[in-house]
């Protein structure tokens, strides 16, 4: 799909294009052709939020899409995101393939152009590579944003971030037999200006990575720790670790079969890190970021790790396995402590589909945020408020730390059902030393679930949650 800024009206068949025009509720319908204003009044269009009306006007040989933004005093950029994405879906159903989009003119042309490009990319994303026949409606082929050429930089940035989000969604949506650690490595090696190194499974034991070694014992696909380094700043690096459980059966503590197909999404943390590295490199961002993805299946088998096992992690701490279905924190422990030891980062962040408890606490639209540094937490909350990838700060205190103490090891890999999100965070806290650290639990937000808010720019399947948030956070951290 082509997206570009257009200063003038492009000469093409007006019957094969559509003009997208946003309106506020109860505002005068002006700055449009008289015929359109009359037509909108006749069909009762008032500009209510997310009211989308497509009007074909043969008399002036034009098609229009009127987009309701609601009352101006309640408007936010998220209002525009949702309305625009709904409008693009409606336009797509008509089969019209060329869109000329006007901007709301509220938040500044740069931001609105950026959002238009980003939302267009994420809204019109499809994961259809496994369909034998394409039954989808014709795709929109071009979007022309009405504006001046000085908006091209904002447009390009929005497209990069949208495409990078979709890159992450592609890997997360892949079936587990094909979206393997080796395939992840292949995708990582395709990134421009990103140095790739890989620690293979046969090195885990030698390096003392007992969590990765234990969880991967019964895996058919060779496990890996993929390391991606993008250095475009002389500052100390910021490390991002993404959980990459290719498929989580629960291991010997096997999950119920109902809904188990969704456990291909347990690699969404690693997918997000992949998308972040792609975005930063293509933006030529002035940052120094290292992404690490511990990748393995969690399967049962005669050689699988077992409840009651004690694993020794990279930093020497030991953990008692209470359940093999709390495997994510075990592999993340090794990746976190390795990153701290090898790279001495200025800050470290992990992102993972870690606990059902976080979903119970915060639902499907807000990720859990924990950490040991108030300044980092505040910065993350600020970035979240702008990107609308929402997070909520949860506590880690001594009561949660007490819950994960073990009588036979340093800690155990679950503290029970009470406060499960926080005890998982308390577990990971053991592997970051004194490094400023943030933990994001995206178990509720990584893919669309029953209570996911209706956002057309998210769609079904993997959401790509975290790509935009962590890209913007990384840039803010170095500015």
Quote the percentage of the chain above a pLDDT of 90: 84
Say how far apart CA 94 and CA 18 lie, in whole Å.
Answer: 10
Give the pLDDT confidence score for residue 32 in this predicted structure. Answer: 64
CB 332 within 8 A of CB 428: yes
Q: Clarify whether 189 is annotated catalytic.
A: no
Say how far apart CA 329 and CA 442 lie, in whole Å.
Answer: 13
Q: Are domains 2-150 and 161-477 of this chain identical in fold?
A: no
Q: What is the DSSP letter of 132?
A: S
From 163, 201, 217, 329, active-site residue: 329
Q: What is the DSSP letter of 462?
A: B
Residue 69: band (very low, low, confident or very high) from pLDDT cuts 50, 70, 90: very high
Q: Clarify whether 255 is annotated catalytic.
A: yes
From 255, 306, 317, 379, active-site residue: 255
Q: Which distant-in-sequence residues (6+ apart) come within 8 Å of 174 by Cβ?
A: 183, 264
Q: Which tokens go with 173? A: 């949506």
Its CATH class, for the domain covering 2-150, is alpha beta
Mean of per-residue pLDDT scores for the chain: 94
Whole-model pTM: value is 0.95
pLDDT at residue 396 above 60? yes
The structural domains of the chain, with segments of one domain joined by +, span 2-150, 161-477
- The partner residues of 344 in beta bridges, in order of sequence, read none
Which overall architecture, per CATH, does domain 161-477 show?
3-Layer(aba) Sandwich (3.40)
Give the pLDDT confidence score for residue 30 in this predicted structure. Answer: 62
13-59 pLDDT, tens per residue? 555 899 999 999 977 666 566 777 788 888 889 899 989 999 988 77
Closest CA to 77 of 33, 126, 20, 116: 116
Average pLDDT, integer, range 136-164: 92
Q: Which tokens go with 372? A: 């040991």
310-337 pLDDT, tens per residue? 999 999 999 999 999 999 999 999 999 9
Instruction: Output the DSSP codes for 139-171.
Output: PP-EEEEES-GGGHHHHHHHHHHHHHHHHHHHH
Q: Do you know the residue count of the chain?
A: 479
């Amino acid at each position: 799909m082509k997206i570009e800024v257009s200063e003038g009206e492009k000469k093409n068949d007006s019957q094969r294009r559509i003009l997208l025009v946003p309106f506020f509720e109860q505002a005068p319908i002006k700055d449009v052709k008289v015929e359109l204003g009359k037509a909108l009044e006749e069909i009762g269009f008032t500009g209510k939020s997310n009211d989308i009306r497509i009007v074909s006007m043969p008399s002036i040989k034009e098609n229009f899409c009127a987009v309701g933004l609601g009352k101006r005093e309640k408007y936010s950029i998220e209002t525009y995101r949702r309305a625009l994405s709904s409008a693009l879906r409606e336009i797509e159903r008509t089969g019209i393939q060329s869109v000329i989009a006007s901007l709301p003119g509220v938040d500044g042309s740069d931001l609105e152009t950026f959002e238009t490009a980003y939302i267009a990319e994420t809204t019109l994303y499809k994961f259809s590579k496994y369909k034998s026949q394409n039954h989808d409606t014709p795709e929109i082929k071009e979007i022309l944003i009405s504006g001046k050429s000085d908006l091209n930089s904002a447009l390009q940035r929005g497209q990069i971030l949208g495409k990078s989000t979709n890159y992450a969604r592609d890997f997360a949506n892949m079936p587990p037999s094909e979206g393997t650690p080796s395939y992840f490595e292949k995708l990582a090696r395709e990134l421009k200006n990103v140095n790739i190194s890989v620690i293979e499974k046969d090195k885990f034991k030698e390096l003392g990575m007992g969590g990765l070694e234990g969880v991967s014992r019964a895996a058919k696909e060779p496990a890996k720790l993929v390391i991606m380094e993008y250095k475009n700043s002389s500052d100390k690096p910021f490390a991002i670790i993404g959980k990459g459980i290719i498929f989580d059966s629960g291991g010997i503590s096997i999950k119920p079969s109902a809904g188990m197909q969704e456990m291909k999404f347990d690699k969404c943390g690693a997918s997000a890190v992949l998308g972040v590295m792609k975005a930063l490199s293509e933006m030529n961002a002035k940052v120094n970021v290292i992404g690490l993805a511990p990748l393995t299946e969690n399967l049962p088998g005669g050689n699988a790790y077992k409840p009651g096992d004690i694993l020794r992690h990279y930093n020497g701490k030991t953990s008692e396995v209470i359940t093999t279905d709390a495997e994510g924190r075990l592999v993340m422990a090794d990746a976190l402590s390795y990153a701290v030891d090898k790279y001495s980062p200025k800050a470290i962040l992990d992102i993972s589909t870690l606990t059902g408890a976080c979903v119970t606490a915060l639902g499907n639209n807000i990720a859990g945020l924990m950490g040991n540094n108030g300044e980092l937490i505040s910065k993350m909350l600020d970035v979240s408020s702008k990107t609308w990838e929402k997070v909520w700060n949860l506590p880690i205190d001594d009561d949660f730390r007490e819950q994960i103490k073990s009588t036979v090891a340093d800690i155990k890999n679950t503290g029970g059902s009470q406060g499960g999100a926080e005890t998982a965070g308390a577990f990971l806290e053991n592997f970051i030393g004194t490094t400023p650290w943030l933990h994001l639990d995206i178990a509720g937000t990584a893919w669309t679930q029953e209570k996911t808010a209706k956002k057309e720019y998210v769609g079904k399947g993997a959401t790509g949650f975290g790509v935009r948030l962590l890209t913007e956070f990384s840039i803010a951290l170095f500015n």
